[in-house]
Structure 1
Amino acid sequence: MSEVQDYKSSLSDVSSRKFETFSYLPEMDAAGIRKQVEYIVSKGWNPAVEHTEPENAMDHYWYMWKLPMFGETDVDRILSEADACHKAHPNNHVRLVGYDNYAQSKGAEMVIYRGNPV
């Protein structure tokens, strides 16, 4: 039987917490994040950027960065909004969301910048 890795994660250690499926994978580089944005756009989903303090990420609603980018298909513009959010809130986690109008739910959601706990 293969060994199953235990991910050390606890409420008391903010930096150890995991979010969404991608948190269990190696951290995405800029090219990987870009591919995810391209996928969201290719599916016709509406991108949005959200952020929150690391200590509130598990049990609070996240703040929306501006309004969702309804109909936006320019990958560079989407990435620049995520970067602007990160620069405005450098200590916060920033996540990218792809809203699926037809299913009326999130089609994709991933933390793309991890904030530093204060």
Structure 2
Amino acid sequence: MSTIQDYPSRLSDPASRKMETFSYLPEMTRDQIRAQVQWIVDNGWNPAIEHTEPENAMDYYWYMWKLPMFGETDVDAILAEIEECRTANPKHHVRLLGYDNFTQSQGANMVVHRGKMV
């Protein structure tokens, strides 16, 4: 039987908290984030950006950055909005969502920038 790795995520240690599947992997590079944005666009999903303080990342409510980008297909425009949100909120976590019109739910949800704890 193989050994399963434990990820010691604890409420008492905000830096250890995991927020979604990709948070168990090393932080994504710019090229990897671009590929995820492209995947969302290629699937016809609507991108949206949210952000929150690291200590509130486990809450269901994150702040919406502007409105969802309904129909946006320009990957560079979406990446620019992610960067604008990160610049305006440097200590916040920033996540990218992809809304699936068919299922009327989130089809993608990933943290693309981790803010630093104060």
In the alignment, structure 1 residue 39 sits paired with structure 2 residue 39: yes
Q: Aligned equivalents of 1:27 and 1:90: distance in 2?
A: 16
Task: Give CA-to-partner distance per residue, 1:31-81, whole Å, 9 cap, x none.
Answer: 111000000000000000000000011024000000000000000000000
Specify the code of the residue in structure 2 equivalent to 1:66.
K
Across the aligned residues of Structure 1 and Structure 2, the Cα RMSD in angstroms comes to 0.8
Name 2:108's counterpart in structure 1. 108
TM-score normalised by L of structure 1: 0.97
Q: Aligned equivalents of 1:72 and 1:4: distance in 2?
A: 40
In the alignment, structure 1 residue 70 sits paired with structure 2 residue 70: yes
Tell me, which stretches of 5 or more residues in structure 2 are unaligned?
none
Q: Aligned equivalents of 1:76 and 1:3: distance in 2?
A: 41
Q: Aligned equivalents of 1:88 and 1:27: distance in 2?
A: 20
Tell me, which stretches of 5 or more residues in structure 1 are unaligned?
none
State the 4+ residue runs in structure 1 displaced beyond 6 angstroms.
none
Identity of aligned residues (%): 69
Q: Aligned equivalents of 2:108 and 2:60: distance in 1?
A: 19
What SS does structure 1 have at the residue aligned with 2:70? coil
Q: How many residues align?
A: 118
What does residue range 5-16 of structure 1 map to in structure 2 within 5 Å?
5-16=5-16
Task: Give CA-to-partner distance per residue, 1:71-104, whole Å, 9 cap, x none.
Answer: 0000000000001000000000000000011100
Q: Aligned equivalents of 2:116 and 2:60: distance in 1?
A: 17
Name 2:25's counterpart in structure 1. 25
Q: Aligned equivalents of 2:42 and 2:16: distance in 1?
A: 33
Q: Aligned equivalents of 1:4 and 1:107: distance in 2?
A: 27
TM-score normalised by L of structure 2: 0.97
